[in-house]
Structure 1
Amino acid sequence: MSLVRLNIKGISYSQTQNGAYALILNEENGDRKLPIVIGAFEAQSIAIALEKEIRPPRPLTHDLFKNFSDRFDIVIKQVIIHKLVDGVFYSSLICEREGTEEIIDARTSDAIALALRFQAPIFTYKNILDKAGIYLKVNPKKEDEENQDSILMDDLIAEEIESTAFGEDLTYKDMSLEELNNLLDEAVNNEDYELAAKIRDEISKR
């Protein structure tokens, strides 16, 4: 399967789901966008890495990982978003130490926060982009005129993302509260916190 390189376009805040953000990845040499739902902490960590001038007084978790890796000569060479299951993206860190390559499983939001700190490229497989990639219905001229240094997407793009990345999951709507709570426990036990957050939001709506 062929890999497609992705660049970070920006971060969109959900107007309907409190504390939820969508990280927007842009297909290199293409028009498709890949929105990925992330939490507030990860959004902050990614935003700080994008804003070169902002330096927290103490290292954040991802900064600590970078410092630790530097100390032991570990380099993240690239990040690959390799799987999409039930709206959840799965990623791998391709690491190298003393000529030996290792593959480490990671949440996509963490993987991208680290990719920024290591200046590592981000890739996904073409079939994932075909399945989850979207075309934003915005005026191309308007998009070109936007400040490229802006991290938060404007309202027009945010509305477009809202209907895709933050769309309601019909399968959850049909479940009882007991079923949702059981599913939530299972997601937490599997450390699938992005899925757990979606289920928690559905429970909160009830």
Structure 2
Amino acid sequence: MHKMVVHGLTLDPLTNMPIVILKDKESQRALPIWIGVFEANAILLELEKIDTPRPMTHDLLKNVIEGFKGKVKRVVVSDLKDSTYYANIEITVNNSNVKIDSRPSDAIALALRTNSPIYVTEKVIASSKIIDKADDDEKIKEWLEDLKPEDFGKYRGG
């Protein structure tokens, strides 16, 4: 498994759909995952440390987990099937480990709120379109500009 961090959010230049960019700090590879507008907003609120007057959905989930004395151990982008990414949220509660199926965008939004690590399996890395040596934003921009419309159907997932 590869430990990754959220490098940022960007917009697909053709569809204007948000893309979350996960980056492996060791290898400098980046994994783009197309997500929904609401999920992008949830991630952006946390990245920018913007407080909301009332808890948003991911804040509520964090509060429920903590209310039951649980801890988010990690989130894992675990699979890519039929052009859709899958993730798991791994929680420890009362010395038990619980794995919960999730969309990657929701898992990432929760990981950011709980300061939990984000991992991507080797299987996902091998079957995804990875940006190698994404050491700067220009490399990511070039990659996005070179995308063709037929590439989009391959990477739904949010």
What TM-score range do you get, normalising by the shorter chain?
Answer: 0.7 to 0.9
Q: Which runs of 4+ in 1 moved over 4 A?
A: none
Q: Does 1:62 align with 2:45?
A: no
1:204 aligned partner: none
**Shift in Å, 1:32:** 1.0
Q: Give the structure-2-normalised TM-score.
A: 0.86
Letter in 1 for 2:31: L
Letter in 1 for 2:57: T
The answer for unaligned runs of 5 or more in structure 1 is: 144-152, 173-193, 198-206
1:49 aligned partner: 46
Letter in 2 for 1:46: I
2:27 aligned partner: 30
Match of 1:58, SS state, is coil
**Shift in Å, 1:15:** 2.7
Match of 1:28, SS state, is coil
The answer for unaligned runs of 5 or more in structure 2 is: none
The 1:136/1:21 distance shift into structure 2, 3 A limit, reads farther
2:76 aligned partner: 80
Q: Whose Rg is larger?
A: 1
Deviations 1:131-162 (A, max 9, x none): 3122267xx5xx3xxxxxxxxx67x7345225
2:150 aligned partner: 169
Identical pairs, percent:
33
Listed as ranges, the matches of 1:144-183 within 5 Å are 157-164=140-147, 167-169=148-150
- The structure with the largest helix share of the pair is 1
- Aligned-CA RMSD value: 2.4
